[in-house]
Structure 1
Amino acid sequence: MFQSFEVTSRPEQGPPRLAALRQELQAEALDGFLVPRADAHQGEYVAPRDDRLKWLTGFTGSAGFCAALRDVAGVFIDGRYRTQVKAQVADVYTPVAWPEVSLAEWLRAQLPQGGVIGFDPWLHAAGQIAQLEDALDGSGITMRRTDNLVDRIWEDQPAPPMNPAKVHPIDYAGEAHGDKIARLAEGLRDKGLGAAVITLPDSLCWLLNIRGSDIARNPVVHGFAVLHSAGHVDAFVAPSKLEGLEAHLGAHVTLHAPEAFLEALGDLSGPVLVEKATVPVAVWDALGDRIVWGDDPCALPKACKNAAEIEGSVAAHLRDGAALVEVLAWLDAQPAGSVTETQVVTQLETARRRDPALQEISFETIAGTGPNGAIMHYRVTEDTDSLLQDGHLLVLDSGGQYLDGTTDITRTIAIGTPPVEAKEAFTRVLNGLIAMSRLRWPQGLAGRDIEAVGRLPLWMAGQDFDHGLGHGVGAYLSVHEGPQRLSKLSTVPLSEGMILSIEPGYYREGAFGIRLENLAVVRSAPDLPGGDAHRAMLSWETLSFAPIDTRLIVPQMLTQGARDWLNAYHRDVAEKIGPRLSPVAKLWLDAATAPV
Structure 2
Amino acid sequence: MFQDFSQTARPEQGPPRLAALRREMEAEGLAGFLVPRADAYQGEYVAPHDDRLAWLTGFTGSAGYCVALQAKAGVFVDSRYRVQVKTQVADVYTPVDWPEVGLAEWIADNLPEGGDLGFDPWLFSLDQIRRLEDALDGVTLHRCDNLVDRIWDDQPEAPAGAVAAQPLDLAGEAHEAKIDRLAKGLEAAACIITLPDSIAWLLNIRGTDIPRNPVPHGFALLNRDGTVELFMDAAKLEGLGDHLGDKVKVLPPEGFIAAVATLGGRVQLDPATCPVVVAEAITGEIIECADPCLLPKARKNAAELEGARAAHLRDGAAMVRFLAWVDAQAPGSFTEIDAVKALEGFRTATNALRDISFETISGSGPNGAIVHYRVTEDTDRTAQDGELLLVDSGGQYVDGTTDITRTIAIGTPGDEEQEAFTRVLKGMIGLSRLRFPKGLAGRDIDVLARAALWDVGWDYGHGTGHGVGSYLSVHEGPARIARSGTIAFEPGMILSNEPGFYREGSYGIRIENLIAVEEAPELNGQVVPRMLRFETLTWVPIDRRLIRKELLTEPERDWLDSYHAGVLERIGPLVEGNEAEWLKRACAPL
TM-score of the aligned structures, taking structure 2 as reference length: 0.99
Aligned partners of 2:69 and 2:111 also within 8 Å: no
Structure 2 residue 35 is matched with structure 1 residue 35 = yes
- Map 1:520-535 → 2, pairs under 5 A: 520-528=515-523, 530-535=524-529
1:368 matched residue in structure 2: 363
Aligned partners of 2:11 and 2:89 also within 8 Å: yes
- Partner SS state of residue 182, structure 2: helix
C-alpha separation between the residues in 2 aligned to 1:557 and 1:513? 19
CA drift at 1:187: 1.1
C-alpha separation between the residues in 2 aligned to 1:534 and 1:5? 52
C-alpha separation between the residues in 2 aligned to 1:407 and 1:508? 27
Assess, with a 3 A threshold, how the Cα gap between structure 1 residues 288 and 558 changes in structure 2: closer, same or farther: farther
C-alpha separation between the residues in 2 aligned to 1:513 and 1:306? 36
Q: Deviations 1:20-63 (Å, cap 9, x if unpaired)?
A: 00001110110000000000000000000000000000000000
Q: Of the candidates 436, 441, 464, which is equivalent to residue 436 of structure 2?
A: 441
- Partner SS state of residue 570, structure 1: helix
CA drift at 1:366: 0.6
**Which amino acid letter does the alignment assign opposite residue 487 of structure 2?**
V
Aligned partners of 1:6 and 1:48 also within 8 Å: no
CA drift at 1:269: 1.4
How many pairs does the alignment contain? Answer: 590
Structure 2 residue 341 is matched with structure 1 residue 343 = no
**Which amino acid letter does the alignment assign opposite residue 442 of structure 1?**
P
2:539 matched residue in structure 1: 545
CA drift at 1:5: 8.7
1:516 matched residue in structure 2: 511
Structure 2 residue 385 is matched with structure 1 residue 395 = no
1:163 matched residue in structure 2: 161
Q: Deviations 1:507-537 (Å, cap 9, x if unpaired)?
A: 0000000000000000001222x25332211
Assess, with a 3 A threshold, how the Cα gap between structure 1 residues 86 and 35 changes in structure 2: closer, same or farther: same
**Which amino acid letter does the alignment assign opposite residue 571 of structure 1?**
A
C-alpha separation between the residues in 2 aligned to 1:464 and 1:142? 40
1:106 matched residue in structure 2: 106
1:426 matched residue in structure 2: 421
2:12 matched residue in structure 1: 12
CA drift at 1:459: 1.1
Assess, with a 3 A threshold, how the Cα gap between structure 1 residues 60 and 594 changes in structure 2: closer, same or farther: same
1:573 matched residue in structure 2: 567
2:177 matched residue in structure 1: 179
Assess, with a 3 A threshold, how the Cα gap between structure 1 residues 451 and 376 changes in structure 2: closer, same or farther: same
Aligned partners of 1:35 and 1:66 also within 8 Å: yes
Q: Deviations 1:575-594 (Å, cap 9, x if unpaired)?
A: 00011002211100101111
**Which amino acid letter does the alignment assign opposite residue 555 of structure 2?**
G
CA drift at 1:415: 0.4
- Map 1:370-385 → 2, pairs under 5 A: 370-385=365-380
- Partner SS state of residue 240, structure 1: helix
- Partner SS state of residue 96, structure 2: strand
- Partner SS state of residue 455, structure 1: helix
- Partner SS state of residue 377, structure 2: coil
Q: Deviations 1:244-265 (Å, cap 9, x if unpaired)?
A: 1111100010000100101111
Q: Deviations 1:452-484 (Å, cap 9, x if unpaired)?
A: 111111111111111110000000000000111
Structure 2 residue 279 is matched with structure 1 residue 284 = yes
1:407 matched residue in structure 2: 402
C-alpha separation between the residues in 2 aligned to 1:59 and 1:385? 18
**Which amino acid letter does the alignment assign opposite residue 115 of structure 1?**
G
- Map 1:116-195 → 2, pairs under 5 A: 116-137=116-137, 140-188=138-186, 191=187, 193-195=188-190
C-alpha separation between the residues in 1 aligned to 2:265 and 2:19? 45
**Which amino acid letter does the alignment assign opposite residue 532 of structure 2?**
L
- Map 1:257-296 → 2, pairs under 5 A: 257-288=252-283, 290-296=285-291
C-alpha separation between the residues in 2 aligned to 1:416 and 1:385? 19
Aligned partners of 1:224 and 1:236 also within 8 Å: yes
C-alpha separation between the residues in 2 aligned to 1:325 and 1:366? 17
**Which amino acid letter does the alignment assign opposite residue 447 of structure 2?**
A
C-alpha separation between the residues in 1 aligned to 2:340 and 2:74? 33
Which blocks of at least 5 consecutive residues in structure 2 are unaligned?
A: none
**Which amino acid letter does the alignment assign opposite residue 215 of structure 1?**
I
Aligned partners of 2:479 and 2:489 also within 8 Å: yes
Percent identity, please: 62
Structure 2 residue 241 is matched with structure 1 residue 246 = yes
**Which amino acid letter does the alignment assign opposite residue 73 of structure 1?**
A
2:21 matched residue in structure 1: 21
**Which amino acid letter does the alignment assign opposite residue 119 of structure 1?**
F
CA drift at 1:357: 2.0
Aligned partners of 1:108 and 1:114 also within 8 Å: no
- Partner SS state of residue 287, structure 1: coil
Q: Of the candidates 313, 316, 320, which is equivalent to residue 325 of structure 1?
A: 320
C-alpha separation between the residues in 2 aligned to 1:69 and 1:77? 17
- Partner SS state of residue 33, structure 1: strand
C-alpha separation between the residues in 2 aligned to 1:68 and 1:478? 30
**Which amino acid letter does the alignment assign opposite residue 427 of structure 2?**
G
Worse overlay, 219-228 or 8-17: 8-17
Q: Deviations 1:365-392 (Å, cap 9, x if unpaired)?
A: 1110000000000111101111110010
1:359 matched residue in structure 2: 354
1:556 matched residue in structure 2: 550
1:196 matched residue in structure 2: 191
Aligned partners of 1:236 and 1:260 also within 8 Å: yes
- Partner SS state of residue 282, structure 1: helix
C-alpha separation between the residues in 2 aligned to 1:176 and 1:27? 52
Which blocks of at least 5 consecutive residues in structure 1 are unaligned?
A: none
2:55 matched residue in structure 1: 55
Q: Of the candidates 570, 583, 590, which is equivalent to residue 584 of structure 2?
A: 590
C-alpha separation between the residues in 2 aligned to 1:417 and 1:588? 18
CA drift at 1:354: 1.3
C-alpha separation between the residues in 1 aligned to 2:161 and 2:3? 15
C-alpha separation between the residues in 2 aligned to 1:267 and 1:7? 45
C-alpha separation between the residues in 1 aligned to 2:529 and 2:388? 43
C-alpha separation between the residues in 2 aligned to 1:33 and 1:500? 36
Coordinate RMSD, CA, aligned: 1.1
Q: Deviations 1:309-345 (Å, cap 9, x if unpaired)?
A: 0000000000100000011011101111111111111
Assess, with a 3 A threshold, how the Cα gap between structure 1 residues 281 and 4 changes in structure 2: closer, same or farther: farther
2:480 matched residue in structure 1: 485
Assess, with a 3 A threshold, how the Cα gap between structure 1 residues 442 and 267 changes in structure 2: closer, same or farther: same
